Amino acid sequence: MSGGDKLDFEIRPNPQPVALAERDALMANPGFGRVFTDHMVTVRYAEGKGWYDARVEARAPIPMDPASAVLHYAQEIFEGLKAYRAVDGSVTMFRPDANAARFAESARRMAMPPLPQQVFLDSLRHLIEIDRAWLPNTEEGSLYLRPFMFANEVFLGVRPSNEYLYVLIGSPVDSYFARGVQPVNVWVSPTYTRAAPGGTGEAKCGGNYAASLAAQAEASEHGCEQVVFLDAAERKYVDELTGMNIFFVYDDGSLVTPPLGGTILQGITRDSVMTLARAAGRTVVERPVAFDQWQADVASGRLREVFACGTAAVITPIGVVRHPDGEFSIADGRPGEVTMGLRQNLVDLQRGRAEDVNGWIHRIR
């Protein structure tokens, strides 16, 4: 079947999977994004034909012509989500339908054909089923799933490509930050911005992350794990971090996060945090937060906790904020009660240990 919203996947098991002993050694300390499973999924697209040739096959290098469009015009998007080993032996995925929807929206922004949601979800299920043995069985461990799509038509010319390749790979991972769930230091960049109005800030495309790397190197020089980007227009308001959204927790228990407006990625974890917080009776407000006000609210004691959130790190407390004129700490650099409570609620949901009242969990038996 080809060209429709549902495809039949051809399953081609890897004839030379990683040996059991080697796999166990790799998974003993996988880190993040360094170890990969035996298989990958590929689906092709051609103008006039649609999506076709869906396969599960051995993970291998992708042949690429030097004139492939992605190498010259950067038509590329990706997603990130996780699969978890649940206590009942099943595998859970957290809101993969939301990732499918965002993947489609990113494609539209980058003038690419949206992958049908069912094809996206089926690709995840097939990879998990064939590489189930790669799922870690630790509290912080998970199988990180990386769907991506790029323009692979061979041509030189500024126009949308007529051919695309969708690929899904899997990586067993541990905690995103090497120190585990500890407060991170962040650097407020005085020079670089992440996105501007009318740009690609709300699309999950590689170019946004490439643009952040110089700022990330600057952050590392100042002993920080992440960058806080300010808005491009006024260099005044907080947008988001290198790869995560941000929340502020005030002394009345309310949460504030910068509003979406085209420059901030529509984080699925961000949306989940707002839903869980409101369900717990907390006030959640989306409004601009000026960096000067952030400092003032910390100094006055009104602002009690700040945390970042995203698929890779889930929820991470922010401890120290550094900027060209100095630094300040939040809650003496200790994890806050609200932050860690929300994190635990989210982790319990993701791993199937809590009641799924929102229908967020997709389970594979």
Residue 93 is predicted with a pLDDT of 98
Mean pLDDT in residue range 283-312:
97
Give the rounded distance of the alpha carbon of 329 from its chain centre: 26
Residue 4 is predicted with a pLDDT of 61
Q: Is it the case that residue 217 has pLDDT exceeding 90?
A: yes
Residue 96 — very low, low, confident or very high, per pLDDT cuts 50/70/90? very high
Q: Which helix (H) or strand (E) holds 166?
A: strand 163-173
Q: Is it the case that residue 2 has pLDDT exceeding 50?
A: no
Mean pLDDT in residue range 110-114:
98
Mean pLDDT in residue range 212-218:
95
User: Across all residues in the chain, what is the average pLDDT?
Assistant: 95
* pTM of the predicted structure, to 2 decimals: 0.95
Residue 177 is predicted with a pLDDT of 80
Q: pLDDT, tens digit, for every residue of 131-151?
A: 999 999 998 899 999 999 999
| Residue 286 vs residue 334, higher pLDDT | 286
Among 235, 266, 352, 16, which residue's Cα sits nearest to residue 257?
Answer: 266
Q: pLDDT, tens digit, for every residue of 22-45?
A: 999 999 999 999 999 999 999 999
Mean pLDDT in residue range 53-58:
98
Q: Which two tokens stand for residue 185?
A: 């230091």
Cβ neighbours around 204 below 10 Å, total? 25
Q: pLDDT, tens digit, for every residue of 248-258?
A: 999 999 999 99
Task: Among 56-60, 113-117, 173-177, name the one with the lowest average pLDDT.
Answer: 173-177
Residue 313 is predicted with a pLDDT of 87
Q: Is it the case that residue 3 has pLDDT exceeding 60?
A: no
| Residue 15 vs residue 178, higher pLDDT | 15
Mean pLDDT in residue range 281-286:
98
How far is Cα 348 from Cα 93, in angstroms, rounded to an integer?
A: 12
Percent residues over pLDDT 70 in the chain: 98
Asked if 216 and 179 count as a contact pair (C-beta separation under 8 A), the reply is no
